[in-house]
Structure 1
Amino acid sequence: MLKKDISNTSDRPMKKATNLTLNTEVLVEAKKLGINISKVCDAFLESLVRSEKERRWKSENQDFINEYNQITEKDGLPLDKWRTF
């Protein structure tokens, strides 16, 4: 009976093969330099998604942020009188 090790599968994100169209010259240079294209693209896309989510959250909550900033400018920070630092 073969036992399949699945202990680490939940720790790693699933991957999906995809096709990309890249600048040929840059791709050749990256390969010469030993750059892992998949890893770089994945990391950049993850960073881009995180930044876009943050931008959208700020945009969607801008009214609340402005209101809260006005309140703290007028009244100070909540619980500020109990701060010990």
Structure 2
Amino acid sequence: DLCEPCRELCAYECKHLRCTRLCYEPCNRGPCNKPCNKKLKCGHICIGLCGEPCPPQCRICHKDIVQEIFFGSEDEPDARFVFLPNCKHISMY
């Protein structure tokens, strides 16, 4: 028998997409490519993607960090980033 949490619907969702499977089943929802509209602690808009963990860096407050990427500097003002919680790095999407 499945435990109580496994009988629940998967919680992986955003306002654009939702997984329709049970918690123990592989998700049938891919990543959302829309910009995140959450506000960071500083009050500025998140630089990440909807439904994904928000990068703690801000495009305005941490301009040097956000613009610097492995191969140089990022010029796209609307570039989106993926936050990797395990290592705390951000990567341009």
Q: Please tell me the TM-score bracket, short chain as reference.
A: under 0.3
Task: Considering fraction of residues, name the structure with more strand.
Answer: 2
Higher relative contact order (CA 8 A, sep 6+): 2
Compute the TM-score of the two structures, normalised by the length of structure 1.
0.22
If you compute each CA radius of gyration, which structure gives the higher value, 1 or 2? 1
Structure with greater proportional helix content: 1
